[in-house]
Chains A and B, each alone.
Chain A
């Protein structure tokens, strides 16, 4: 069995995001970058399946600038077998990423593709579903539990109303929720070993995918700030304010 896992390099989730003064983008110089958090869950799940079975290969793929290769290297350090880096500069929209991943799937022929459910930079929540559409494969999105049985996958999905269980035939796409598992940290020896694992490089042009954005970013800005409130000194005062001033209770 082969599992392909897509990972994205994003600004670390603990970094306070700042907008460039001219409104053309986000400040990224000297900012800490990390793997998109739910993509860590995707890698973890693939590695867990590999450890529980035999003859399972895990391939990590990323699409992005030169430094995006760090996310593939990290995936290799926690247990992926080899990597693929599709080099693209600038903003790549989910549709373009899905088209690139489709080409990689055509080459690699995996049984499963795991992705994070959403990237915490553009918050689009699209790539996995788009890839499923392009491949005409089943999609199991927002997965919080998965169970492989024979040639099928049973998935528990997180939905607004609670939980939903579906069963999909392989090959299939799974997008991972943060609650799917607890990602491990890479050990130092494994980080060293990962440096020797192979990473294959392509460009979008090699794969014949046009990545020209279709959605123009006109400007970015900070949202309007809430005006500072007041501190109240007692519960009684709080309740009086809520009733008589804010009139919400």
Chain B
């Protein structure tokens, strides 16, 4: 039994969540092989080979793998997966797009978004936006599993020395074409991996008012989040959305400002280590999950918050 881990990367470096997926894979079986599909991605192969939990790197390069289209990736993953008991990837938009295509070709019923490995065939996964945990057992011979990255620690990245094996590409799928990717560049930490997240909701009342949040985020080196209501109202762009249909975040500190705490939002943040809620409605459901609740008008509280932070001089970068 060995586990095939599909690495996510940008042809230059590994994406951070691959490290969490490797940890999850190693909990299923110690013999973890990393499959790297891309173009001109030798540096990534080297990084993977230095991860102690990775026992072998399988590298496949071709021009048509440059942009990670699942139509091109899936038949190759199926071919390589022949000798493996499990195929694993992160349950982010990369893995969500790719893994079901692989699973269907293998005639396997996929287990999505697991938060715990109970045994090699049994897993814990949230359903109903995290309001219910289901323990599920896969009876398929080959298992396709995606893992929720924030539920597993990232693995150690140095001192390993796995071999790198090169495998031939398979034919290109010509009916789908990548056009462009518009990545939102920011000096701030990524929402999915930030240690501190500060989010605004409908209570912010406008996009301009998010400046109050931004100032504090700058001070705390925090990522900026938002509720769906704030995104739908046009206060902030969609990649900031935290919740069932947005991102799931598990920071050390989550500060919810002007967010009432709809089920769909709680699904995205309630596993955070410390939750702070600032809301003028003392009955808002967000207070039921908050470690520290401040019932206050955010337009008064946020400037004060910034001022208090300025008095401290021990902010960790």
Contacts and interface: CB of A to CB of B under 8 A. Distances in A.
Contact of A139 (B101, B102, B184): B101
A166 interface: yes
A19 interface: yes
A169 interface: yes
A207 interface: no
A124 B110 contact: yes
B181 A138 contact: no
Contacts of A126: 99-100, 103, 110, 112
Contacts, number: 250
B176 A168 contact: yes
Contacts of A96: 109
Given A154-B179, A235-B305, A160 B94 contact: yes
A213 interface: yes
Interface string B100-142: 1111110111111100000000100011111111111111100
A217 B295 CA distance: 41
B3 interface: no
Interface stretch (A45-53, A63-71, A103-111, A239-247): A239-247
Nearest to B290: A229
A139 B178 CA distance: 12
A121 B127 contact: yes
B181 A242 contact: no
A1 to B, nearest CB: 17
B109 A142 contact: no
How many chain B residues sit at the interface, stated as a range, is 35 or more
**Chain B interface, >50% SS class:** mixed
Contact of A231 (B94, B239, B287, B309): B287
Contact of B244 (A120, A179, A218, A234): A120
Contacts of A127: 100
B166 to A, nearest CB: 26
B79 to A, nearest CB: 14
B161 interface: no
Contacts of B126: 123, 223
Interface in B194-252: 196, 220, 228, 238-239, 244-245, 247, 252
Given A162-B181, A168-B177, A230 B132 contact: no
A interface majority secondary structure = mixed
B196 A248 contact: yes
A17 B294 contact: no
* Interface size class of chain A, counting residues whose CB lies under 8 Å from the partner chain: 35 or more
Given A139-B70, A160-B93, A215-B138, A167 B179 contact: yes
A157 B163 CA distance: 36
Nearest to A19: B132
Contacts of B70: 129, 139
A172 B176 CA distance: 9
Contacts of B4: none
Contacts of A160: 92-94, 192, 239, 247
Contact of A159 (B132, B181, B296): B181
Q: 9 closest pairs, A vs B, by CB?
A: A129-B100, A214-B109, A130-B104, A133-B104, A229-B291, A126-B100, A235-B304, A165-B179, A138-B176
Interface of B: 69-71, 74, 91-94, 96-105, 107-113, 122, 126-140, 173, 175-184, 192, 196, 220, 228, 238-239, 244-245, 247, 252-253, 263-264, 270, 273-276, 282, 287-296, 301, 304-305, 308-309, 312, 314-316
18 contacts: A120-B129, A122-B127, A125-B113, A129-B97, A130-B101, A133-B100, A133-B101, A138-B176, A139-B97, A140-B176, A144-B238, A160-B239, A178-B245, A179-B238, A228-B288, A229-B291, A246-B274, A249-B309
